[in-house]
Structure formats: structure tokens, C-alpha cells
């Protein structure tokens, strides 16, 4: 975790990316047919995670490719992603998180191993 004092948007985005990737059922972050949104910082950008801040709130957006399973429920997976992203952001001091938009851009049909 990048929990130094800085906590720039990119650092938060990177941490969220790592946290969301560990959610069961998530294959990839920021992969999809189209170019997805990203968070930009000096010398780096984190694709698939957008951190937006105003004076009072933090809004997040996460682009996810899911792993297909017959029992898959994307609304439930979205909730898990939302929770992971929110917890990570708030742990790094980006709070309060108001909204986490989750976009499922792609689905990996073969267990996510290939490609």
C-alpha cells in the first residue's frame, strides 16, 4: 500500500486497482473493447480507475472485466467491487466516498486465464 503522506489521486487509484483485482470474480481492471477511463499523474496513469474529488466528496469509477460462471451475478459482483474500492479509498484518507460507479466492460469466458 502506498500509504505515505502524499496520497495523490494516482496513488489512491493504484491501491484501489490492486484491491479490486483481489475481489473474487474480477478478471481484469480497465480492460475492454474501448479505451477506458484512467487516473493520470506524473509519469504514470492508472487505467480503469477514476478518482474524482470535490471539496466534500470523493467519487470513484472502476472498469472491470468479470470472469464468467453460470452462477455469476453482476449486481452482486458490483457490490463487492464497490465495497473494496470504497474501503481502500477511505483507508487512504480519500473520504467520504459518495459514489462508486462500476462498469463491466468485458467478460472472460474461459476462467480468465487466457489472453
Binding residues vs other proteins (CB under 8 A): 24-25, 32-33, 60, 66-80, 82-83, 99-107, 109
DSSP for 12-25, please give it. Answer: HHHHHHHHHHTSTT
Q: Which is nearer to other proteins, 94 or 102 (CB)?
A: 102
CB of 91 to other proteins, least distance (A): 17
Crossing angle (nearest 10°) for helices 9-21 and 74-91 = 140
Least Å distance, CB 83 to other proteins, is 8
Q: How far is the CB of 65 from other proteins (least distance, A)?
A: 9
Pick the closer one to other proteins by CB: 3 or 109.
109
For 102, how many CA atoms within 13 A lie in the half-sphere containing its CB?
Answer: 22
Considering beta carbons, is residue 32 or 48 the nearer one to other proteins? 32
Amino acid at each position: 500500500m502506498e500509504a505515505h503522506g502524499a496520497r495523490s489521486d494516482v496513488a489512491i487509484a493504484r491501491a484501489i486497482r490492486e484491491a479490486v483485482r483481489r475481489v473474487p470474480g474480477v478478471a481484469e481492471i480497465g480492460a475492454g473493447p474501448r479505451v477506458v477511463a484512467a487516473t493520470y499523474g506524473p509519469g504514470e496513469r492508472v487505467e480503469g480507475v477514476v478518482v474524482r474529488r470535490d471539496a466534500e466528496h470523493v467519487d470513484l469509477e472502476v472498469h472491470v472485466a468479470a470472469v464468467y460462471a453460470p452462477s455469476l451475478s453482476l449486481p452482486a459482483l458490483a457490490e463487492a467491487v464497490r465495497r473494496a474500492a470504497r474501503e481502500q479509498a477511505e483507508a487512504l484518507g480519500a473520504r467520504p466516498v459518495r459514489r462508486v460507479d462500476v462498469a463491466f466492460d468485458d467478460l472472460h469466458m474461459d476462467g480468465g486465464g487466457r489472453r
